[in-house]
Amino acid sequence: MKPIILKSLLAAFVCFGATSARAEGSEYLIGRGMTDITGPAFGVQMWGFGREDQLTEGLHIRQRSRAFIIAEPETGKRIAFVSADIGSIEHNITLEVLDRLKAQYGQLYTLDNVILSATHTHAGVGGHWHTRVALGLAGAFYPERFERVVAGVVASIVAAHKDLQPGDILINKGDVEGAGANRSMAAYEQNPEAERARYASPMDKEMTLLSFVGAQGAIGMVNWFAVHPTSMTFDNKLISGDHKGYASLAFERAMGVSYASADDFVAAFAQSTPGDITPNLNLNNTGPGKDDFESTAIIGSRQLDVARNLFETATAPLVGPVDYRQLYVDLSRLDVADEFTGAGAQTTCPSAYGYSFAGGSTEDGGGHFLFEEGMTESRFYLDFLIRFLTGAPKPTPAVVDCQGPKPILFETGTGEPPMQSQIRSIGIARIGQLVILTVPAEVTTMAARRLKETVRKELGDWVGHIVIAGYVNGYAGYVTTPEEYRLQQYEGGHTLHGQWTLPAYRQTTAILARAMEAGTSIENSVVYDDWRGKASETALHDGRADGLPEEGTFGDALSRQQTSYAPGDAIVAEFRSGNPTANHAALHNFLEIERQSEGIWTSVANDGDWETKIRWRTESEADQLIAQVIWETPGDLQAGTYRIRHFGQMTAASGEHQTFEGTSEALTIR
């Protein structure tokens, strides 16, 4: 999408009138906060597609943690909700966040009432998962990356806590058209015809939005809508929040956000249940735009447009208590009653990945050529090859039988310790007539519908709205219906605990909902196997000194032929640079676009804006890194004199890190 299109969207958006507060006393205390959690921008494997060759080369839009706190004025009982622009929330992140909050606030924030949700962008950086063995499926564990995420999430919650003020929450709902498609129709159609006939679409198009209104007007917004953030495909190597990051950025910029003020409006486009929903509308890892960036903007804009309308027209307030419940369950061996299986008492399985997981989702790309979706029988030569190349142990017969008809690629739920934790955190929260069900997984469309029905059945008539927040306080793969599981499409191959996974979630959520309705507490009898301090740690940077030609200086702007441009042109500037990953928390801005007015240079854009990109590459001469800044100028850009600045750091032979700046020659926009 061209910058002029985004600019026109924002211009219309600025006309928002801040949603007016109710005339009488406020219902809640509300607060919001936002921090930067952008990952290392060069040379680190990205999270999501599992490709070792997908290493970061730069930055498009920044990753952020957006937090909201809702509390009862009289009792102080509260919920903290965070939407973070990362691929997943490992449960060890949750534990570390809670420990740090406890150090500041005692028992005010606990596992029961803190909801950490990931947007699930596939254009973020990995390295924040604690790996248990050499065959860690999440790649290396980088303590610096883990710290950046944890510290950023904590800071956003602290900011929201400090911001608490009397206010109201308005709720609105509406459908988003053209922002996703069911990528696994073959599996969806395995569900009973009568059940499918109850729904108009094989995807949930509904967006639920909350508007947070303080005494002076709206201070924030969060919505939930289900679509995978894979518009930025596996060929992309620039950090991005994908379409949800785009929509948040556009909403916030329209509300005048500077990203430097504690009073900034916070707009979170949070994730829901996109297990089988792709934004790649051509269903072949492309579309609807001509490239990843245009597709991201289109899908983001379609969510943005609906959110804008819902925000403008929201009038119904949430009214009533704040409440919550949480349970740990061991899904390696959970007994599930016939009430939820419909097939007699059953038991879930130790986690295992299927062949179809390796095949990847055809519609979203990835996967190995030896595997494909729909594989339901083991093949001797594949089993032999997997064990030979990876050293993975042979699956145990009991797990093979339990997981059927899934042919097992890796068994990860047995052993001492298991390759993955088998303990999952599931919760339920209430804000007035809204119920938020929190799950650590990617839930398919029909599985989500059954979960909502289960919760609604257990609660009273006070329930007006139910949303499912996915990727919360952990990551446990997919949740499909038993019927979908048996077909072993990609989603079934990644449903870790076997075909009774969804019934296990339904049974657990029923327990939580019954306790909430009865006003009784729940005690956790299962203890999470905390892995902090036990994982093998990998240095984020190898300490190598940055190279530089003898005649060069860090920050030097490389010469170019053109200095005069028209609005709408793409301007490229290059600088001698260093590796930004060496001390990745030190730099919070890699570039600035400035305009000269009456002899004073004023910033008009930076690396947090959609129209800018920065990409590093290695030049053979002296092993020099070159930073390339691309500025796609808006079509209505004011004529004048501009310049591009680059902020970087270099690593000396001594290991010392030093920052530097570089400035391009003046550019004329005519």
User: Where does the pLDDT of residue 18 fall: very low under 50, low under 70, confident under 90, or very high at 90 and above?
Assistant: very low
Burial code of 404-419, b = ≥16 C-beta within 10 A, e = fewer? Answer: eebbbbbbbbbeeebb
What pLDDT sits at residue 24? 52
Beta bridge partners of 266: 220
Angle at 80 between CA 74 and CA 86, to 5 degrees: 170
Reported as a single tens digit per residue, the pLDDT across 374-401 is 999 989 888 888 888 777 788 999 999 9
Beta bridge partners of 325: 428
Q: For 176-190, 273-287, 381-395, which range has the lowest pLDDT when averaged over its residues?
A: 381-395
What pLDDT sits at residue 309? 98
What pLDDT sits at residue 22? 46
Q: SS3 of 641, please?
A: strand
Reported as a single tens digit per residue, the pLDDT across 433-482 is 999 999 999 999 999 999 999 999 999 999 999 999 999 999 999 999 99
> How far, in Å, CA of 441 to CA of 471, rounded?
5
Tokens of 60: 């498009």
Beta bridge partners of 224: 208, 270
- If you average pLDDT over residues 523-537, what whole number do you get? 95
CB contact at 8 A, 68 and 268: yes
Q: What is the mean pLDDT of the chain?
A: 93
Position with higher pLDDT, 26 vs 622: 26
Longest dimension (CA), the chain: 79
What pLDDT sits at residue 621? 74
CB contact at 8 A, 255 and 16: yes
Domain boundaries, the chain: 7-320, 564-669
154 half-sphere exposure, CB direction, 13 A CA radius: 19
Residue 343 corresponds to which amino acid? A
Counting Cβ atoms within 10 Å, is residue 650 exposed (0-12), middle (13-18) or buried (19+)?
buried
CB contact at 8 A, 402 and 349: yes
> How far, in Å, CA of 58 to CA of 37, rounded?
15
Reported as a single tens digit per residue, the pLDDT across 608-662 is 999 999 999 999 877 899 999 999 999 999 999 999 999 999 999 999 999 999 9
CB contact at 8 A, 306 and 314: no
What pLDDT sits at residue 354? 96
Reported as a single tens digit per residue, the pLDDT across 414-428 is 988 899 999 999 999
What pLDDT sits at residue 132? 85
Q: How far is CA 33 from the centre of its chain?
A: 17
> How far, in Å, CA of 102 to CA of 328, rounded?
20
Residue 537 corresponds to which amino acid? E
What pLDDT sits at residue 138? 56
- If you average pLDDT over residues 58-80, what whole number do you get? 98
Q: In sequence order, which residues have a C-beta less than 8 Å from that of residue 396 and are 6 or more positions away?
A: 411, 414
Reported as a single tens digit per residue, the pLDDT across 218-228 is 999 999 999 99
Reported as a single tens digit per residue, the pLDDT across 230-269 is 999 999 999 999 999 999 999 999 999 999 899 999 999 9
Rounded percentage of the chain residues whose pLDDT exceeds 70:
96
* Helix, strand, coil percentages for the chain (3-state, nearest 5): 25, 30, 45
- If you average pLDDT over residues 127-150, what whole number do you get? 84
Q: What DSSP character marks residue 342?
A: S
**Residue 84 confidence (pLDDT) above 80:** yes
What pLDDT sits at residue 613? 98
The pTM assigned to this predicted structure is: 0.95
User: Where does the pLDDT of residue 3 fall: very low under 50, low under 70, confident under 90, or very high at 90 and above?
Assistant: very low
Measured in Å, how far apart are the chain's first and last C-alpha atoms?
23
DSSP collapsed to 3 states, 378-421: CCHHHHHHHHHHHCCCCCCHHHHHHHCCCCEEEECCCCCCCCCC
> How far, in Å, CA of 665 to CA of 425, rounded?
55
Helices of type H across 521-617: none
> How far, in Å, CA of 535 to CA of 330, rounded?
21
What pLDDT sits at residue 1? 43
What pLDDT sits at residue 134? 56
**Residue 36 confidence (pLDDT) above 70:** yes
Tokens of 591: 């570039």
The CATH fold assigned to 564-669 is Immunoglobulin-like (2.60.40)
Q: SS3 of 359, please?
A: helix
**Residue 14 confidence (pLDDT) above 90:** no
CB contact at 8 A, 349 and 403: yes
Q: Is the sign of the CA dihedral 467, 471, 473, 478 positive or negative?
A: positive
